[in-house]
Chains A and B, each alone.
Chain A
Amino acid sequence: MAEFTRGFTGRPRRGGDDRLPPGQYDTGAGWPTLTAELTPTIDVEQWTMTVDGLVESPTTWDWRGIHALPASSYFGDIHCVTTWSKFDTTFAGVSVDALLEVTGVKPEATHVFATSTTGYTTNLPLDDITNGKAWIVWDFDGKPLTPEHGGPVRLLVPHLYFWKSAKWITRLELRDHDEPGFWERNGYHDRGDPWLEQRYQGDA
């Protein structure tokens, strides 16, 4: 393979920009979407969030109940496997830690399987959603999250590629083993760390 592509110089870039993971570009004010299904219409009065599986007390929250938990927000960057990154986003909701504090976590739990109202699923190591690394969010930049971006409510795991941040989240099931979710069964990486460029199955 050639060392570089003949005639390609690429976009102007700032030296030493350490915010952009390898192979990503800054999408600026844009926010593209990646989806495999039609955007659902979700009535927040009907929506519930359940945490179950290997927890001490399986718990289901309704819209009001989850808003009664301590508020938490994320300010920072997000990265999509389709190669865009978006800097300085603000999401507000609750920390996944706050949900797990209510349910308790059994010692044998190692992974979590996230499910959306549409049936979309994704798998994550438990370590990737605990200790301030993951949120259930409903606001983006101070406004309700729009349906095409997962509104009214989505999972947010900003240190991993964004397909892990399941839109229209409704359930987190703690498990003692890993099992591929939707995109993971369809060719994408099980963990999805953008800094290690874990895009597809077979990446290190």
Chain B
Amino acid sequence: MTSAPDAVAEPVASHWTTGTVREIEHLGDNFVKLRLEVADRHDHVPGQHYVVRLRAPDGYTAQRSYSIASDPADPLVELMVECLPRGEVSGFLHDVAEVGDELEVRGPIGRWFVWGGTTPSLCVAGGSGIVPFVSMMRYARRTGTEHLLRVVASAQTRERLPYVEELESYGAFVALTRENQPAPDGSERVAAHIYPEELVPLADGIERAYVCGSVGFVSFVGRILGEAGVRSDTVRVEQFGPTG
């Protein structure tokens, strides 16, 4: 682990504020996209997250962290929330939240899993782990730094991969594990996890790798990044989901 945080803006002590839902879009049963107008907002760095806190009439609260998908220049803050089975917060956001609702939010948070637009990097995402990389990708596009940011996304099916069309138009490498896909050379990529050989050209020349996904996915990618020649101390990790 390298010790220095990225050269990002000095940390702002974040406070709870109001995020008003301005747009909401359901993507199948699995995902809901929320676009929030955040009061007293501080600009984020791609990769950072917000905390969303729900409050019941009796004062009970539940809060969860969600990565930001939007570019810092976007007037709204975009979150893409995966609906988890019996998810207390994600279930509410998916089933109950409507345009006009006010949520308690806090952010942006995190100074480690961030990309400041200068370090040649490879991002590897599993499923909804793509969200922080969407913010990085949008930032790269706006600032003309796409050549410094390569993106790999893995999911079971296209439907389980939010932003799949945007990823493809960016030139991200998409690996589906349960669907065959047409390959650029006219052949077909047979459903499979990412192969180390697929990462080798993408890892060439990078100085940092970011991996975001479930515990099992991060462990798997850590191994194949090593096989592709990426040093483990250049890898930054964000993972979610339970382990045994």
Contacts and interface: CB of A to CB of B under 8 A. Distances in A.
Interface of A: 1-11, 13, 22-23, 25, 27, 30-40, 82-83, 118-121, 148-149, 182-183, 185-187, 200-202
Given A4-B55, A11-B62, A187 B110 contact: yes
Given A23-B63, A31-B244, A1 B53 contact: no
Contact of B102 (A1, A32, A40): A1
B56 A9 contact: yes
A200 B14 contact: yes
Contacts of A118: 1
A6 B102 CA distance: 8
Interface of B: 1-3, 5, 11, 13-18, 53-57, 59-65, 88, 92, 96-97, 101-104, 106, 109-113, 211, 215, 218-219, 222, 232-233, 235-244
A201 B13 contact: yes
B88 A10 contact: yes
B222 A185 contact: no
A33 B54 contact: no
B128 to A, nearest CB: 15
A23 B53 contact: yes
Nearest to B57: A4
Contact of A5 (B11, B54, B211, B215): B54
B87 to A, nearest CB: 10
A83 B64 contact: yes
Given A148-B215, A201-B11, A37 B236 contact: yes
Given A10-B56, A35-B218, A185-B111, 18 more contacts: A1-B16, A3-B57, A6-B101, A7-B96, A7-B97, A8-B55, A25-B88, A37-B1, A38-B218, A39-B219, A82-B65, A83-B63, A119-B2, A148-B215, A186-B112, A187-B111, A201-B13, A201-B14
